[in-house]
Amino acid sequence: MSFDAAVIRASFAVVELRADHVAKYFYTHLFAHNPELRPLFPAQLAEQRDRLFASLTELVLRAGDLDGLTGYLRALGRDHRKFQAAPEHYPAVGTSLIAALRHFSGHSWTPEIEKAWTEAYTVISQIMIDAAASEPAGTPCWWEAEVVHRRRAAVDVVVLTLAPGHPYPYRAGQYLSLSSPRQPQVWRPYSIANAPRADGTLELHIRRVPDGLLSTALVNDVLPGELLRLGPALGDACLTPRSPRPLLAVAGGTGWAQTKALVEETAAQWAQGCGRPMTVYLAARADTDQYDLATVRELVRRHHWLEVVLAAPADGADREAAVHLLRDGLTEHGWWAGYDIHLSGPPDLAPELTELLLALGAEPGLIRHDPVPLTFNRAQPLTCSEWFLDRRDVAWINRTDRS
């Protein structure tokens, strides 16, 4: 079954003007008619409402490219297993979604629009259901992992070592989503900071986000012995197998976690006789924000093929000073053609540095990073035309792999 993408876009442009009201109506309708679904959602829904509408925005923007949208939806469907989403839940969600859209479309709502949205939701939900069902038998919906070590690396950063109760499959460079009983049903993505280990443990570097429900609990409160839930590993910002090209990794802040995993993977390749040189630019807003320098120095001491360039302005400088310092360092190198390049860090780091590196000879197909979790643009467009001309920023449900 197909659906009319043009009708979907036009009708969505009308209700996007009242995004927050639509999302509130949706959840009120859903829980009033299906109270048994309420426990599947976080207690505080304010952020969840933004994420719902941001996800809808992404779906609408990609509605004309069903092939491209399918990869995103399949990953979303597999990942939703951790929310205990079952096939029988999807019709209820669809009914409430269309009810909310109908209510806030007013007189502009037509049978043609309802038909288009019904068909679209049928296609979307079936792709997600089929993807979840395609997971191999016995694949957990989530993994329980015990916190076995906790290290305060900075005032607002903690390094947690986790021991999953069952083998946790992943590759260096991937990330996972995490939840704690301290904030039930609140999931956040974090890069895995190590290559696979013989003992199966995982390392996460977590920075406290202002007003962040989960990050505050993880940094301030979670102690060794507590159990956390892990979603399946996601992302494809991994090393290219058997590539002979030299490596460049640029990391900002806790983006060092992903880069550290790639350094460890490269070390394993050297041990197998197929290593390659690696250059790391490690950026921070100040020297005091380089929270894992002891590990960095030890890795450089042990590996002759590893060069690390620290980029941090003097204390008291603003973010722009850190960005300029990093850009200057990459530019002084001169030319990055022929490198496999990995970027990790704050949401705006990858887009900004990609533009710079392309100008310095980097090849687009050799630059890798996680999907960019843009912050939600709360400035509302005034007209439907403005909505189409000024693409809205999307606050991702998580950094779901779109491949």
CA distance 141 to 79: 8
The average confidence (pLDDT) of the chain is: 87
- Report the pLDDT value the prediction gives residue 388, as an integer from 0 to 100: 41
Side-chain half-sphere exposure of 388, counting CA atoms within 13 A: 10
How many Å is the maximal CA-CA distance in the chain?
69
Tokens 């609408």 correspond to 60
Q: Name the least confident of 70-79, 107-116, 350-359, 389-398.
A: 389-398
- The closest of 260, 261, 329 to 291, measured between CA atoms, is 260
Output DSSP code: residue 168: -
On whether the CB atoms of residues 140 and 166 are closer than 8 A, the answer is yes
- pLDDT-based confidence at residue 387 (cuts at 50, 70, 90): very low
| pLDDT above 60 for 374 | no
Average pLDDT over every residue of 292-304: 97
Residue with tokens 């409430």: 96
Contact 276, 239 (CB under 8 A): no
Residue 146 per-residue DSSP state: E
Local confidence band at 322 (pLDDT 50, 70, 90 cut-offs): confident
pLDDT computed for residue 129 by the predictor = 95
Please name each of the domains of the chain with its CATH number.
5-136+377-389 (1.10.490.10), 143-230 (2.40.30.10), 247-368 (3.40.50.80)
Assign 3-class secondary structure to 17-82.
HHHHHHHHHHHHHHHHHCHHHHHHCCCCCHHHHHHHHHHHHHHHHCCCCHHHHHHHHHHHHHHHHH
Confidence (pLDDT) at 316: 61
Query: What confidence category does residue 203 fall into, taking pLDDT thresholds of 50, 70 and 90?
Result: very high
Confidence at residue 377, expressed as pLDDT on a 0 to 100 scale: 44
pLDDT at 12 over 80: yes
